[in-house]
Amino acid sequence: MSWLHSLNLISGISLGVIWLYHAVAAQRGLRRVPVLGRAAASGEGHVPESSPSARPLPRVSIIVPARNEEAMIEAAVRSLLALDYPDFEVVVVDDRSEDATGAILERLVAESDARLQLLHVRELPPGWLGKTHAMWRGAAVATGQWLLFTDADVVHQTQSLRLAVDCATRHDAAHMVLMPTMRTHTLGERMMIGFFQCMFLFQHRPWKAADPASRDYLGVGAYNLVRRDAYEAIGSYESMRLCVVDDMRLAERLKQAGFPFCAAFGPNLVQIRWAMGATGVVRNLTKNFFAHLQFNLAFALLAALGMLWLHLGPWLGLGFAAGWARAGYGLAMAVLVASYAAMSRYSDTRPVDLLLHPAAAVLMTCALLLSTSLTLLRGGVLWRGTFYPLAELKRNS
């Protein structure tokens, strides 16, 4: 047996075992994650939670940071004002927008009732990331017992907040994440979002994040619902001034402080088009990817190699390996096929999108390397017209 065949055999078996392990763990774990809304009651293997409890619903303040969001801000705010929740307010923070965002928001304030408040940030104070500062400003004037941090391009269905708050109180959680439905309009978007959802198997486990004994945690920028006392106990966003991956950092701090967490799926309850086209996904990740890896170059390079091995390995192994070495690659490919079939039941991803998985793997790896190289070459992160020095970001992370 040649060394190359031995290497292929070990690589194939390892890939097959890794993919199978994570797929089985996800299948079992996701059964414990509640699914909200009547439409979710038919979701296979999940626990539907559609009927509200008898508990009184607390006041909620919805915080929306917005910078140059003229394309989606009106739809997002109108969807929030249409919520069927009995006691809430919407605080939108216009963070130095240079487009029509501010004018649109001023018009909406004039047209709506007192539930909508608008704050304008004209200058960003030193030592702050724009988004964390906007969320901190919004939370500072909020009056709710719960705070919902959501993005300015997210559209909310009427019953979403009522179901989410009810779910959080049922589970005695201080932090709750409602997983958004990712809308895609192009083939490139479907390709990248499908790949992103596959990566979810390896990176974030919502069923484990709810376990106090686990080190897993989960935050989602589209829907972070936090009890106010918990938010203040960890020092608010003032203690995370320069956190690039702010949603995950918030979740990490809350988990470390011992506050209980729950996550839920809600098909179509919260919808977002994360990026326009495959290049839009890559562009969005240039801010977050290297930061997610704690700005560690060695870790970033290992992550790039690992990503290529995990996601290109099954294809290359089936094409070039021989004999029993192909068995492990075949098992990994079978899990991939099953993963795309499962995702197609809950998202815009289609089973046929599996054929684009290798291209998505290459593009996602390029996004990681681009994020790493640009951050190092610039000496920091340039995002939406503001530069944040790397030294300051590292100290804060």
Is it the case that residue 55 has pLDDT exceeding 90? no
pLDDT tens-digit readout, 153-171: 999 999 999 999 999 999 9
In a domain, 264, yes or no: yes
The closest of 153, 393, 208, 150 to 290, measured between CA atoms, is: 393
| Selection from 205, 197, 218, 223 nearest residue 347 by Cα | 197
Task: Give the model's pLDDT for residue 50.
Answer: 52
Average pLDDT on 49-54 reads 56
Higher confidence at residue 161 or residue 206? 161
Is 197 a domain residue?
no
Q: Which pLDDT belongs to residue 42?
A: 42
Q: Which of 254, 273, 292 is the last residue in one of the domains? A: 273
Q: In terms of pLDDT, which residue wins out, 185 or 324? A: 185
pLDDT of 77 > 80? The answer is: yes
Half-sphere exposure of 331 (CA within 13 A, CB side): 19
d(C-alpha 231, C-alpha 257), whole Å: 10
Are 39 and 180 in a shared domain?
yes
Are 173 and 251 found together in one domain?
yes
Residue 62 phi, psi (nearest 5): -100, 120
Does position 54 have pLDDT exceeding 70, yes or no? Answer: no
In a domain, 247, yes or no: yes
Residue 325 has a pLDDT of 79
- pLDDT of 43 > 60? The answer is no
- Provide the pLDDT confidence category of residue 204 given band limits of 50, 70 and 90: confident
Residues 243 and 319 in one domain: no
pLDDT over 50 (residue 39): no
236-273: buried (b, 16+ CB within 10 Å) or exposed (e) per residue?
A: bbeebbbbbbbbbbbbbbbbeeebbbbbbbbbebbbbb
253: its two tokens: 């701090």
Query: Of the candidates 241, 273, 305, which is a domain's last residue?
Result: 273
Q: What is the pLDDT of residue 45?
A: 45
Q: Is residue 392 part of a domain?
A: no
Quick one: average pLDDT of 177-192? Answer: 92
Q: How long is the chain?
A: 397
% the chain with pLDDT above 90 = 69
Residues 282 and 344 in one domain: yes
In a domain, 190, yes or no: no
Q: Identify whether residues 255 and 294 lie together within a single domain.
A: no
Confidence check: pLDDT of 397 > 80: no
Whether residues 144 and 26 share a domain: the answer is no
Please tell me whether residues 286 and 259 are part of one structural domain: no
Instruction: Find the domain containing 308 and state its range.
Output: 1-30+275-377
* Residue bearing the bigger pLDDT, 93 or 41: 93
The structure tokens 């009427």 sit at: 158
* Domain of residue 133, CATH code: 3.90.550.10
pLDDT tens for 301-318 read 999 999 999 999 999 998
Q: Note whether 318 and 328 are within 8 A (CB).
A: no
Q: Are residues 291 and 259 in the same domain?
A: no
> What is the reported pLDDT for 133?
97
SS3 for the chain is CCHHHHHHHHHHHHHHHHHHHHHHHHHHHHCCCEEECHHHHHCCCCEEECCCCCCCCCCEEEEEEECCCCCCHHHHHHHHHCCCCCCEEEEEEEECCCCCHHHHHHHHHHHCCCCEEEEEECCCCCCCCHHHHHHHHHHHHCCCCEEEECCCCEEECCCHHHHHHHHHHHCCCCEEEEECEECCCCHHHHHHHHHHHHHHHHHCCHHHHCCCCCCCCCCCCCCEEEEHHHHHHCCCHHHHCCCCCHHHHHHHHHHHCCCCEEEEECCCCEEECCCCHHHHHHHHHHHHHHHHCCCCHHHHHHHHHHHHHHHHHHHHHHHHCCCCHHHHHHHHHHHHHHHHHHHCCCCCCCHHHHHHHHHHHHHHHHHHHHHHHHHHHHCEEEECCEEEEHHHHHHHC
Any domain includes 284: yes
Residue 389 near residue 306, CB atoms below 8 Å: no
- Residue of 40 and 171 predicted with greater confidence: 171
- For the segment 293-298, the average pLDDT, to the nearest whole number, is 94
Question: Does 395 reside within a domain?
Answer: no
pLDDT in tens, 322-343: 777 789 999 999 999 998 998 8
293 and 311 in a single domain? The answer is yes
Choose the final residue of a domain: 226, 253, 273. 273
**Number of domain units in the chain:** 2
Same domain, 129 and 262: yes
Same domain, 139 and 5: no
Examine residue 193 and state whether it is found in any structural domain, yes or no. no
Residues 354 and 266 in one domain: no
